[in-house]
């Protein structure tokens, strides 16, 4: 029997983000799906007989909710965890493969080494209707490739200029639909894997509105749907009889990122907010940097297309800004940020020594001082002045970066 020195135990540690592969399946032949699933392989190894399968693969960004803060799994060699999804309905089948476990290795000291549990913690974040056999999953894939249509009401569609064989559709849903609640139980696992700090939401609360995004492709005269992403919006009460809408979760799956889908989804949601007279503004819950960038760029483009940016030709008090930009339904923080970006754009690269730029710099610095008052007021005057200038320089460079992409 092979002996294991405890110092060599690190060789039995696997990064859980890399061990897990998420796969979205479409296909019309049950035997082809079954044959592929019985192999411990990726879609790059599809044979000619399996060419009718469409399998999209990617890894999760975060697995600490399942496997701990370090995102490590101990005790396996050659570990592969496959989360297999039917591309449209997200019906799920879990597979776990490995070549060896540390349980079979004898240590040279009186040390007991045990493998980390895999199936139990990962099953906790999967839906209760998890499929348990290759046969059942294969049949589900083929059935929905023929018959599946998304839940909810189709409210928008668009195409991409570089894709001629498909269309993307957005559907609106809420938890009053029992079928959508079942679908959401499968969908919400992606929240854990791709949104840092993401949590499951209460699916009995009907104040949630969900926008799901699908790719619809023609395959031999049939429409085949693949899930692309989603956005959840919570509708808060706003006195006396209005609503404040808050984007809570926003996700485009990795294979579809960097193609404009996030902007398409966000712009449609914003346009829906603007056309709803009950909604007073749109906020975002804990956005990450990538979402902030996408949001800023699209909000400025909207200001440009609406002609509103031309009206902003000088620094204004918040009250005047709000009156000027009220139709945008930006929340206060975003309204100020967009106004600062738009006015900087209107300066047309004027010299930093010009009166217009000096006025702009003072305007932004006043906002930064109010925003960071508690910290700045504790500093000595010279230190405060330097800190405020450094903060302004950082904001200014970030604004230049954003405007350079528009």
Strand partners, 214: 169, 227
Distance CA 61, CA 283 (A): 25
| Spatial distance between the Cα atoms of 266 and 249, rounded to a whole number of angstroms | 12
23 contacts 44 by C-beta, under 8 angstroms: no
- Token pair of 38 as six digits: 């019985």
Report the alpha-carbon distance of residue 341 to residue 297 in Å, rounded.
10
Q: Would you please indicate which residues are annotated as catalytic (active-site) residues?
A: 285
Question: Beta strands of 111-190 (E only): which ranges?
Answer: 153-158, 166-173
**pLDDT value of position 308:** 75
C-alpha dihedral (257, 258, 264, 267), degrees to nearest 10: 110
Q: How many independent structural domains does the chain possess?
A: 3
| pLDDT attached to residue 336 | 95
Under DSSP, the state recorded for 377 is T
User: In this predicted structure, what is the pLDDT of residue 219?
Assistant: 75
- Do 108 and 172 lie in one domain? The reply is no
- Domain harbouring 132, CATH code: 3.90.360.10
The tokens describing 7, both together, are 């110092």
Q: Give the mean pLDDT per block of 10 residues along the chain (406 residues).
A: 61 95 94 89 56 88 97 95 97 96 66 86 97 96 91 97 92 96 97 96 96 90 92 96 96 97 98 96 95 96 85 89 91 95 86 86 96 94 95 96 92
What does the alpha-carbon distance between residue 31 and residue 344 come to, in Å, rounded to a whole number? 60
* Contact residues for 52 (Cβ-Cβ < 8 A; gap 6+): 27, 28, 29, 32
Does residue 81 contact residue 54 with C-beta atoms inside 8 Å? no
Residue where a domain stops, chosen among 229, 251, 281: 281
Question: Taking a C-beta distance cutoff of 8 angstroms, is the pair 100, 89 a contact?
Answer: no
Note down the domain range covering 119: 3-147
Q: Is there a single domain that holds both residue 136 and residue 18?
A: yes
pLDDT of residue 392: 96
Q: Are 20 and 59 in contact (CB under 8 A)?
A: yes
Residues 157 and 265 in one domain: yes
Give me the pLDDT at residue 1, please. Answer: 45
Q: What share of the chain is helix, strand, coil (3-state, %, to 5)?
A: 45, 25, 30
- The stretches of 238-309 forming alpha helices (DSSP H) are 261-275, 289-306
Say yes or no: 268 and 376 in one domain. Answer: no
User: Which residues carry a binding-site annotation for acetyl-CoA?
Assistant: 257-263, 288
Residues 153 and 271 in one domain: yes
Query: What CATH number did the domain enclosing 220 receive?
Result: 3.40.630.30
Residues 94 and 134: their CA atoms lie apart, in Å, by 9
118 CB-contact burial (10 Å; exposed 0-12 / middle 13-18 / buried 19+): buried
User: Which of these, 207, 186, 91, 101, lies nearest to 144 by C-alpha position?
Assistant: 91
Does residue 303 share a domain with residue 264?
Answer: no
Residues 239 and 315 reside in one and the same domain: no
Both 92 and 11 in one domain: the answer is yes
* Cross-strand bridge partners of residue 166: 217
Give the end of a domain, one of 260, 281, 302. 281
Last residue within a domain, chosen from 147, 179, 195: 147
Handedness of CA 123, 133, 16, 60 (dihedral sign): negative
Rounded CA-CA distance 198/67 in Å is 15
Pairing type for strands 242-252 and 222-238 reads: antiparallel
Binding residue ranges: 257-263, 288
Shared-domain flag, residues 15 and 143:
yes
* Alpha-carbon span 180 to 186, nearest angstrom: 10
How much is the pTM? Answer: 0.92
Same-domain pairing of 309 and 394:
yes
What's residue 376's pLDDT?
94
Which residues on neighbouring strands pair with residue 24, listed in sequence order? 56, 85
**Whether residue 134 sits in one domain with residue 46:** yes
Q: Tokens standing for 384? A: 């405060």
Q: Are 274 and 305 in a shared domain?
A: no
């Amino acid at each position: 029997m092979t002996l294991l020195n405890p110092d060599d135990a690190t060789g039995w540690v696997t990064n859980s983000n890399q061990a897990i592969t998420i796969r979205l399946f479409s296909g019309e032949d049950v035997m082809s799906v079954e044959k592929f699933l019985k192999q411990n392989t990726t879609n790059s190894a599809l044979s000619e007989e399996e060419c009718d399968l469409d399998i999209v693969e990617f890894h999760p960004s975060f697995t600490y909710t399942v496997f701990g803060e370090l995102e490590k799994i101990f005790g396996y060699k050659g570990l592969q965890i496959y989360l297999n999804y039917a591309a449209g309905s997200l019906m799920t089948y879990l597979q776990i493969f490995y070549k060896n476990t540390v349980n079979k290795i004898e240590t040279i000291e009186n040390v007991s080494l045990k493998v980390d549990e895999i199936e139990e913690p990962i099953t906790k974040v999967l839906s209760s209707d998890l499929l348990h056999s290759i046969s059942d999953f294969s049949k589900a894939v083929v059935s929905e490739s023929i018959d599946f249509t998304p839940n909810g009401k189709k409210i928008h569609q668009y195409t991409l200029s570089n894709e001629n064989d498909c269309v993307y559709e957005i559907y609106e849903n809420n938890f009053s639909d029992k079928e959508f609640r079942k679908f959401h139980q499968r969908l919400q696992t992606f929240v854990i894997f791709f949104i840092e700090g993401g949590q499951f939401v209460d699916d009995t609360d009907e104040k949630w509105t969900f926008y799901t995004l699908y790719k619809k492709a023609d395959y031999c005269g049939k429409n085949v749907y693949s899930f692309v992403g989603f956005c959840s919006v919570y509708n808060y009460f706003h006195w006396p009889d209005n609503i404040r809408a808050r984007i809570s979760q926003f996700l485009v799956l990795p294979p579809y990122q960097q193609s404009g889908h996030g902007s398409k989804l966000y712009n449609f949601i914003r346009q829906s907010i603007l056309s709803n007279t009950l909604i007073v503004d749109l906020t975002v819950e804990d956005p990450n940097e990538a979402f902030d960038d996408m949001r800023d760029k699209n909000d400025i483009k909207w200001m440009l297309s609406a002609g509103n940016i031309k009206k902003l030709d000088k620094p204004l008090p918040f009250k005047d800004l709000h009156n000027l930009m009220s139709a945008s339904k930006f929340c206060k923080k975003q309204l100020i940020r967009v106004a600062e970006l738009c006015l900087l754009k209107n300066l047309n690269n004027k010299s930093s020594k010009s009166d217009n730029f000096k006025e702009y710099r003072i305007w932004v610095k006043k906002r930064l001082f109010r925003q960071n008052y508690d910290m700045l007021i504790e500093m000595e005057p010279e230190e405060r002045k330097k800190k405020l200038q450094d903060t302004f320089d950082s904001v200014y460079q970030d604004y230049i970066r954003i405007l350079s992409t528009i």
